[in-house]
Amino acid sequence: MAWLARRDGSVVIGHGPFAATAVMPAAGTAFYLQDFALRDAQPWKIPAAVEVTSSHEFAARHAAVPPPCCHWQPPDGGPFAGVFHEVMAAIQSGLFEKTVPVVTETGCGDAAPGAAIIAAMARQAAPLCSFGWSEGAAGFAGATPELLISLDGLHLETMALAGTARCDDREVFAVDEKEIREHEYVAQTLVAKLTDLGCLERQPRDILDLGSIVHFLTRLRLDLTQAQSPAALVKRLHPTPALGPLPRTAETLAMLLDWRARLGCPAEFGAPFGVWHHGRFDAVVAIRGIWWHDRELVLPAGCGIIEASRLVNEWRELRLKREAVKRCLEC
């Protein structure tokens, strides 16, 4: 099964078996399932059956499923500290302005947790968009606040979502120079990548309140001068500096992929996850989720590192993001 909740309140659900293809179908429905490095040569997954429902109904059908019983093992800070120092050395040498390593927390369920994790994520409401993919005893599901692309005809929407703090720290967060700078790296890069495609509107920077945490948010809207394929737009934008390196070159991306692999990051974490349905394409950034295989669990979180970053602060941010995901399992 695959699903994606869209910002208009609808949920597109695909039921397998899925046929994989390299080319997006001209009509109908196909899910876009990729890894972070965009290495899958057949990312379009065409379901055998499709249904479209509302977020409210989708949540209601999972209301009776109890939360999963998960036992978590706190991550060891040593490997992340080593990567952090390598990142800072690369920044100081001029290779990077920003990059985003990922730390994973592992765990185990009392029973196969997939169905309960799917149910918990399906119950998450806007501004989160729930998403997931399940095949046999493995899968992943989450509730992400980050839109990568919404493409309807010649109208495109995206967002810069970067900078994180506890909700209780909202007032000081609003004037935090380090967090603002981190956010502006993302927003300005998106503007630069989209300006030549049409008439671009950048909205003022805002704060997105997710209850326990807050992020800086800048929405971008674009009227394209000519039609663009979803796959071409994904390659143009992904990974944004919210999850990827700045500047994005073959060398800096390879370094980030190496750090992700060393820290046990799932291949799909931070990747685009989307659906093409009746001429419209919506893709989110696959963050704030849990990966499972049988009873084994993986909970990844990333942090943006710039020159002003400090190890202790980034470690706290990683924990803050993982705790936000765990709270999704409780409601």
> For 53-68, what is each residue's pLDDT tens digit?
999 999 999 999 999 9
Q: Which domain holds residue 127?
A: 2-63+75-328
* Domain assignment of residue 69, yes or no: no
Pairwise CA distance, residues 133 & 113, whole Å: 14
- Regions of the chain short of the pLDDT cut 70: 331
Q: State the burial class of residue 127 (Cβ atoms within 10 Å of its Cβ: 0-12, 13-18, 19+).
A: middle
Q: What is the pLDDT of residue 56?
A: 95
In a domain, 12, yes or no: yes
Strands 102-109 and 296-302: antiparallel
> What domain count does the chain have?
1
Give the pLDDT of residue 61. 93
Contact status, residue 267 vs residue 257, Cβ threshold 8 Å: no
Residue 123 corresponds to which tokens in the numbers above? 């119950």
Query: Quick check: is 108 in a domain?
Result: yes
Query: Is there a domain that residue 168 lies in?
Result: yes
Number of H helices, E strands in the chain: 8, 19
Q: Is residue 70 part of a domain?
A: no
Give SS3 for 218: strand
Based on the number of CB atoms within 10 Å of its own CB, is 192 exposed (0-12), middle (13-18) or buried (19 or more)?
exposed
Q: Would residue 68 count as lying in a domain?
A: no
pLDDT tens digit string along 103-123? 999 999 988 999 999 999 999
In a domain, 174, yes or no: yes
Write the DSSP symbol of residue 55: H
Q: Calculate the average pLDDT of the chain.
A: 96
On whether residue 301 sits in a domain, the answer given is yes
Angle formed by the axes of helices 177-194 and 230-237, to 10°? 140
Question: Cis (ω within 30 of 0) for the bond into 247?
Answer: yes
Domain at 275, CATH number: 3.60.120.10
d(CA 86, CA 95) in angstroms, rounded, equals: 11
pLDDT at 330: 86
